[in-house]
Each structure stands twice: as structure tokens, then as C-alpha cells.
């Protein structure tokens, strides 16, 4: 019986690739044979869903199908049934169905867990520790093979071949028209099963032991960097020990802000110091430096000190220290201070109650309201 692939997946003919995949996953879950044991109608529907997805998920096949229908596909990709093939859906099923279905998931045996020989752990450093380097003792959990079961996860130290997949880790479902290859839900693709779990490791095949190691942090490290400590990671079932990777995170400082190997600092400057152009002492990473302010220094003006920044991990050169001044004004004044400031203000020709803006600006604005024409223009 002829059926429309778009109708089978319940999508429109202009559906996107993501929409096709989403529809397939939804319907495959609904009609999968493991969830509809003995239901011939569901089994047939599942075959149609897979056939439709195999065509519509392939741009070339979809284009031919849209133009010539199923007959066009049979003429191009073979006749007499068209799509007999092993179609591996395990990646899709694993991500949505957990690697097993219905009764299969209830009957499967436990298996030993696999783990990476390499190990990564985070470490937090103070700002100054990262800038100048330091030594740290790091404590961490290390995985080692369980000695009780010889890293098998089984109480008797032996794993049995999975009877469902014959040790291949894959099973094939179908009737010849379309065969679906997927991970064996009974052994999770390992090809082996554990009849009785090891009581010491609970079938994990490994145990956790506390370890510590001293590491030398070089100066100049920054957040996001990783350090490799060779031969200090987990120990695999074969006895090979992996590496330990230390992932670095540097805490912020209250005063210095880091950008690559440069550091920034904000320096409060009293307004009279800025006006007079005084020399002031400012803190640096390694002590202090003298900053000579120009007369009339401006708020947020920046001053650069070369080689006063951070030494790069793989460099002999230091970055810059950038000092940005923040001009401070007093909140409260005594009568004497007010009198002195008024005298200073008058000495600059500034009249109290008036803006220091050039008077010509005010004259220009006034002329707008009087209707005066700008020079060079005549009234029409």
C-alpha cells in the first residue's frame, strides 16, 4: 500500500531538518516494538516511520521523492523494495530512551562502569598567587581498580558473555525489509553482563581513594588555563595511570583588574592635586611608583607604566600597569575653606551664580529669541 512519507511523520512538505528529526524521535518512541509488544499494527507503523525518516532526512533522497515520488527512489537506489538496509539508530535511541526499551530495560544485567584514566580537578587561586606563582597541595579523589573483583565488577571476578547479542554489543531488529541496528539494551553495548555484583565496588569495577599532590604554580597563570601533572590521574583496569589536569580559576582582586598581562588600577586624586599637577605615590604589583600629574589633569585620565604588569607564563616580558585617576571633590567645607575657594574662583574671573561658559554662547542663544538673523543672511 502506498503511503506519503510526510503524512507518516505528521509534518508539512516544507519542514526543516530539525523538524523532521523531532517528529521522527517522537513517533519512534511511541510506536517502538519494545513498547508495543505483540501489536502488529504498531510494528508496521514503526517500519513506515523509519522508512520515511531514512528518505526525508537525506537531502538527495528527499529531493527525488518530492519530484518523482517513491517510484523515483526505487529507480535510482534499487528496485524490488527499495530500502533494505541496516539502519543504525542507536545514537538517537540512546539520547532519548536511555539505551533500552520496555521489558529489555527491566531484564538487563548490571555491567562495570568505564572511566577515563585522565583526571581533571579545579583549583582556586588568590590574585597574588597567580601573579607571582606559588606551591599548592591539592587533594582529590582517584579511581583505582577494585582488587576484590579484579576490576570486573563481578563477585566471582568473571564477566559472562551477553546471551542477547552474543558478545557483539549490538542487536538487529527487523524482518528483512528494514533492519535496525542498535546498542544491546541488556549489556549497554559492552558484550558482557554481571550476574552478581561485587559487594566491595557495587559492580563499578573501581574504588575511590584519597590522594594529594604538591604542584608548583608558575607566575602569570590566569583563569581558564590548565596544568598537566603527568602520571597522577586515575589508574585503569590495565594498570596504566593517566595524567592529572589542574584547571585554574583566579579570584578577583579588590584593587587591581587584570586584562591579559596588563593590570589596571584606579587612583583617587584630590582636585587640588590635579589642578596643581603634583607628584603622587601609587601602588604597583611589586611596591610603589611615582606618578607626576600634569597641571590640570582630567578625571579618568590614564597613565601607563611599562613592565609593571604581569609576567606571562611563556614570556620573559612583563605587561603594563595602567593607572586611571579619579578626581575627588570635598562633600563638606568649613567657612574658612568656602572663603578661600570663593577668592580663588574670583581670581579666575568667574562670577558667583554664573556659568563659566563663554559669554558669546549666551549672546548667540539670546539672538535666536530676538529674531536676529545670523550674519551673511538677509530676510526674504
Give the annotated binding-site residues for Zn(2+).
146, 149, 162, 165, 184, 187, 198, 201
By DSSP bridging, strand 192-193 and strand 160-161 are: antiparallel
Cell 510494528 maps to which residue? 43
CA nearest neighbour of 8 among 37, 43, 36, 46: 46
Task: Say if CB 84 and CB 77 are below 8 A apart.
Answer: no
Spatial CA neighbour of 256 closest among 282, 278, 280, 294: 282
Binding residues, by number, are: 146, 149, 162, 165, 184, 187, 198, 201
Residue 29: count other Cβ atoms within 10 Å of its Cβ: 14
CB 52 within 8 A of CB 9: yes
Cα(325)–Cα(264) distance, integer angstroms:
11
> In sequence order, what are the beta bridge partners of 180?
87, 173
Polymer length in residues for the chain: 380
Q: What radius of gyration do the chain's Cα atoms show?
A: 38
Distance in angstroms (rounded) separating the CA atoms of residues 258 and 267: 16
Give the E-state strand segments of 185-320 in sequence order: 192-193, 206-217, 226-229, 244-250, 257-259, 262-270, 279-284, 287-292, 302-305
Q: Within 13 A of 119's CA, how many CA atoms are on the CB side?
A: 23
Question: Residue 155: phi, psi to the nearest 5?
Answer: -60, -40
Amino acid at each position: 500500500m502506498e503511503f506519503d512519507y510526510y503524512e507518516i511523520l505528521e509534518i508539512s512538505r516544507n519542514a526543516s531538518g530539525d523538524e523532521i528529526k523531532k517528529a521522527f524521535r517522537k513517533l519512534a518512541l511511541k510506536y517502538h516494538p519494545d513498547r508495543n509488544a505483540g501489536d502488529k499494527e504498531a510494528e508496521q507503523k514503526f517500519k513506515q516511520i523509519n522508512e520515511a525518516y531514512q528518505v526525508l532526512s537525506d537531502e538527495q533522497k528527499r529531493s527525488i521523492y518530492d519530484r518523482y515520488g517513491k517510484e523515483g527512489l526505487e529507480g535510482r537506489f534499487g528496485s524490488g523494495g527499495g530500502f533494505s538496509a541496516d539502519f543504525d539508530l542507536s545514537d538517537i535511541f540512546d539520547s532519548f530512551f536511555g539505551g533500552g526499551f520496555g521489558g529489555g530495560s527491566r531484564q538487563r544485567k548490571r555491567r562495570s562502569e568505564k572511566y577515563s584514566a585522565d583526571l581533571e580537578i579545579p583549583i582556586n587561586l588568590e590574585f597574588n598567587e597567580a601573579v607571582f606563582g606559588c606551591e599548592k597541595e591539592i587533594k582529590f579523589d582517584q579511581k583505582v581498580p577494585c582488587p576484590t573483583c579484579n576490576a570486573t565488577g563481578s563477585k566471582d571476578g568473571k564477566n559472562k558473555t551477553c546471551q542477547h547479542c552474543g558478545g557483539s554489543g549490538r542487536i538487529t531488529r527487523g524482518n528483512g525489509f528494514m533492519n535496525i541496528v542498535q546498542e544491546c539494551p541488556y549489556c549497554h553495548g559492552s558484550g558482557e553482563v554481571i550476574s552478581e555484583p561485587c559487594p566491595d565496588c557495587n559492580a563499578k569495577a573501581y574504588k575511590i581513594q584519597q590522594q594529594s599532590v604538591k604542584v608548583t604554580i608558575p607566575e602569570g597563570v590566569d583563569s581558564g588555563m590548565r596544568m598537566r601533572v603527568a602520571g597522577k590521574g586515575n589508574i585503569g583496569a590495565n594498570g596504566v595511570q593517566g595524567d592529572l589536569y589542574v584547571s585554574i580559576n583566579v579570584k578577583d582582586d579588590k584593587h587591581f583588574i587584570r586584562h591579559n598581562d596588563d593590570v589596571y588600577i584606579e587612583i583617587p586624586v584630590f582636585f587640588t592635586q590635579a589642578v596643581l599637577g603634583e607628584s603622587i605615590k601609587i601602588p604597583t604589583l611589586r611596591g610603589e611608583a611615582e606618578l607626576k600629574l600634569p597641571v590640570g589633569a582630567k578625571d579618568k585620565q590614564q597613565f601607563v607604566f611599562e613592565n609593571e604588569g604581569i609576567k606571562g607564563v611563556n614570556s620573559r616580558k612583563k605587561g603594563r600597569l595602567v593607572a586611571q585617576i579619579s578626581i575627588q571633590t570635598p562633600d563638606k567645607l568649613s567657612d574658612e575653606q568656602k572663603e578661600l575657594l570663593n577668592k580663588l574662583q574670583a581670581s579666575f574671573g568667574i562670577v558667583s551664580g554664573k556659568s563659566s561658559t563663554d559669554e558669546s554662547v549666551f549672546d548667540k542663544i539670546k539672538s535666536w529669541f530676538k529674531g536676529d538673523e545670523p550674519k551673511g543672511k538677509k530676510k526674504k
